[in-house]
Structure 1
Amino acid sequence: MHPHADRGAALRAPLRLGVMASGNGTNFEALVESIAAGELCAEIPLLVVNNPGCGAQQRALRLGVPCSVLDHRILRDRVELDRELVRRFREAGVEGVVMAGWMRIVTPVLIQAFTGRLLNVHPSLLPSFRGLDAVGQALASGVTISGCTVHLVTEELDAGPILAQSAVPVLETDDHVSLSARIRRQEHRVLPQAVLRAGLRWRQG
């Protein structure tokens, strides 16, 4: 056998992604659709949600993706939550993790377990409008352009290396609902692309 055959097969194998979601789960479904369309060579062996019965959990049931509920309300603190996330993702054999609408601040426990392999999608053109309610921040500021960013997660909130961005115009008629919807459509487009590029680096590095 050629000495590089095993490595070549590994590079071609589907990327094993863990996904974290708290809400409706549209970005999670966008990843599943991209995989089904052959645009993203990956599989999702585990989705973890922290809100029992949330939209992401319902989507996982419909799409046939294994889903684990990890209710943060019954855990002692964020560190305990992240330790359990790490345990479950390692048990599932994931190579990288995507925070697709995870509405909890993560700790170094999770970040260091997946250094350079933990991605987040944020509804602004970072470094503008970090933190909660980025859409509301954009509307309040009067900017005429907002958008979304996919970035690596570091210990500084919404400050990790940027992997992909997409700009979205802010219209005079926009409210929170309309601007959020247009930004979300761009998230669905750029998130799978960013995951694909990141996954290639994980395999080659």
Structure 2
Amino acid sequence: MSRLPKLGILGSGSGSNCQSIYDAIQSGSLRAEIAVVMSDNPDAYILERARSWGIPAEVIDCGGFKTRFPEESQASVAARLKQYGVDCVCLAGFMRLVKLPLLKEFPSRILNIHPSLLPAFPGLHAWEQAVNAGAAESGCTVHYVDDGMDTGPILGQARVPVLPGDTPESLHARIQEQEHTLYPAMIARVLETLA
């Protein structure tokens, strides 16, 4: 690619991983640009971050569903991402399952970061699952998105020990530190394969 690859970022919350991607681009360690940030939560701070950077921020209409990601919504998101010329889609705390037609439109070009060492502790509140299970270690995983829950091929992982006295919150904070390094590095690796 002679131009910079374009990222589309989907998130539901504060967007700390989106911030780490933006920071990596600003520092020059990730050669890309964020074309658009989209959220299913109109009040999500991730949208505020994007606006403050002068990046388009759009709300995804999920038809009033709390957790489902209707096919028509996914088709609409896929069309918008295409309009922005997005090469790679990065899920950053996006709390809905991506299925067709998004997967069909971006084959092997949708990435996710998950706060556990997959396949251990898929789904919600993985750091809580790790503490409750008495796990000796946890961490984070960047993987390609397929039509399952946190089941796609793994790109990279970072390990975090579970310390004596860890609470779900303290473990989550340490996992997030690793996420913010791992995710931009794995995105860079994927973009090299698209070049």
Equivalent-residue separation in structure 2 for 1:178 and 1:79 (angstroms): 37
Equivalent-residue separation in structure 1 for 2:99 and 2:13 (angstroms): 20
Q: Which residue of 2 aligns with 1:61?
A: 51
Equivalent-residue separation in structure 1 for 2:69 and 2:130 (angstroms): 31
Q: Which residue of 1 aligns with 2:101?
A: 109
- 1:77 deviation in Å? 5.3
Please tell me whether residue 26 in structure 1 is matched to residue 16 in structure 2: yes
Equivalent-residue separation in structure 1 for 2:191 and 2:112 (angstroms): 14
1:42/1:126 CA distance change after superposition, 3 Å: same
Please tell me whether residue 97 in structure 1 is matched to residue 89 in structure 2: yes
Contact 1:126–1:149 (8 Å) recurs in 2: yes
Unaligned 5+ segments in structure 1 are 1-9
Contact 2:141–2:157 (8 Å) recurs in 1: yes
Q: How does 1:165-180 map to 2 (within 5 A)?
A: 165-180=157-172
Unaligned 5+ segments in structure 2 are none
SS of match in other structure, 2:51:
helix
Please tell me whether residue 132 in structure 1 is matched to residue 124 in structure 2: yes
Equivalent-residue separation in structure 2 for 1:104 and 1:171 (angstroms): 30
Query: How many pairs were matched up?
Result: 193
Q: Which residue of 1 aligns with 2:40?
A: 50
Normalising by structure 1, report the TM-score: 0.90
SS of match in other structure, 1:44:
strand
User: After TM superposition, what 4+ stretches of structure 1 lie above 6 angstroms from structure 2?
Assistant: none
- 1:74 deviation in Å? 3.5
Normalising by structure 2, report the TM-score: 0.95
Looking at CA atoms only, which structure, 1 or 2, has the larger radius of gyration?
A: 1
Q: Which residue of 1 aligns with 2:149?
A: 157
Please tell me whether residue 186 in structure 1 is matched to residue 184 in structure 2: no
Q: How does 1:2-13 map to 2 (within 5 A)?
A: 10=1, 12-13=2-3
Equivalent-residue separation in structure 2 for 1:44 and 1:110 (angstroms): 18
